[in-house]
Amino acid sequence: MLIASEFLLEELTKYLETHLIETKANWLRLHFKSIYQKSFQNEPFKELQKWCNDFLVKYPDKIFDSEDFTSLQENALVSLIKRDDLQIEEVKIWNYVIKWGIAQNQNLPSNPKNWTQENFLILKTTLQNWLPHIRYFQISGDDIIDNIKPYHQILDENLWDDILKRAINPNRQIPSTILSPRIILEQKLPLRESFSTIINKEHAAEIATWVDKKAEAYSVTNNPYEFKLLLRGTRDGFTKESFWNLCDKQVNTIVVVKVNDTDEILGGYNPVGWDKSINNWVYCNDSFIFSLKNGTINSSTLSRVKNPKNAIYSHSSYGPSFDDDFWMTKVNNPWSCSIRSYEKAIRNVKTKFLVSEYEVFQIQKK
């Protein structure tokens, strides 16, 4: 796409950009920081820039709290704070803007109380593209005193006077231009309606019951675990590299896969985690593998480990592996099920198979 753009092949550039967004979203998320920077370094990639910002307005910490935040290019960050739906407190935006501006001028004294008029002018010039997009009147009076007052000289004098007046009396009419408040998106996370594209809440409750070895099954309402998504993708996007990038050393993980062209949902629970530096079997006494009731599959199957020494196979050449009983092979990413270290087989057919979807969750107590 970069090469096509450089050679002014506009139609090909747009085609590749659309292809990435529509079919390779998981890959884009895995390489987000690089994609974010490259897209804003290339003016034609408008749709990719929008895709990045659509993601960041919901998860701003991904960029604002990153170690390289102050080295990110200005046009990318300014385009983000322009957004009316950026989900972050306005005073935090102000502090991030100041942090970025100071980092561009390393000769500025660390304490603004020691700044000269020239120091404030330098910072004001650096932030001239940022300051018009801060919603000052969404910042509380106390935060104005604590956070804005030390740097108020980078603002126009009339604007600073109006900010103080509005802090004292929010209903007071002022001449300065007021940007509309940012839109607070409705939070639907507690409902968890779409936490997975493979399993439903009943499946999650059943898996939780197996994790805690309960005789009486958990219901959807009393499931004590939250399923935190670590990795999701389709067959073509599932590689051992994507797995290790996001799941290495993560404990209490649930892997679920949808078998291609069937109703089968297979999975496994690994409480000790995979570590790609081990390249060997890992002892585990509480892992299990399973198949879930779904479609024409009338009942679920639970298979607990019977040989703890070979319960988990952790190797950088493979994806998730529960010994030979349920694992992702290294050749073209097919999967395989057998019976060796677990009580029973979770699949009747012994040949290797492909999956249409996969997900890896980490479970945590609510």
- pLDDT beneath 50: ranges in the chain: 188-193
pTM for the model: 0.54
Which of 148, 254, 143, 153 is CA-nearest to residue 198?
254
Q: What is the pLDDT of residues 195-243, one digit of tens each?
A: 898 999 999 999 999 999 999 999 999 999 999 999 988 766 677 888 8
Q: What are phi and psi of 93, to 5 degrees?
A: -60, -45
Residue 104 Rama label (left phi>0; alpha psi -120 to 50; beta): alpha
Residue 332, pLDDT score: 63
Task: Look at residue 144 and give its three-state secondary structure.
Answer: helix
Residue 33, pLDDT score: 85
How far apart, in whole angstroms, are the C-alpha atoms of residue 82 and residue 238? 35
Residue 191, pLDDT score: 40
Residue 236, pLDDT score: 63
DSSP string, 332-349: SS-EE---SSBSS-S-S-
Neighbours of 255 (CB within 10 A): 26
Q: List the structure tokens of 279.
A: 């390249």
Task: Look at residue 156 and give its three-state secondary structure.
Answer: coil
Given CA atoms 54, 55, 56, 60 in this order, what sign does their dihedral have? positive
Residue 181 Rama label (left phi>0; alpha psi -120 to 50; beta): beta
Residues, the chain: 366
Residue 58 Rama label (left phi>0; alpha psi -120 to 50; beta): alpha
Residue 51, pLDDT score: 94
What ranges do the domains of the chain cover?
2-168, 197-365
Residue 190, pLDDT score: 43
How far apart, in whole angstroms, are the C-alpha atoms of residue 91 and residue 354? 49
Neighbours of 171 (CB within 10 A): 5
How far apart, in whole angstroms, are the C-alpha atoms of residue 328 and residue 310? 16
Residue 192, pLDDT score: 41
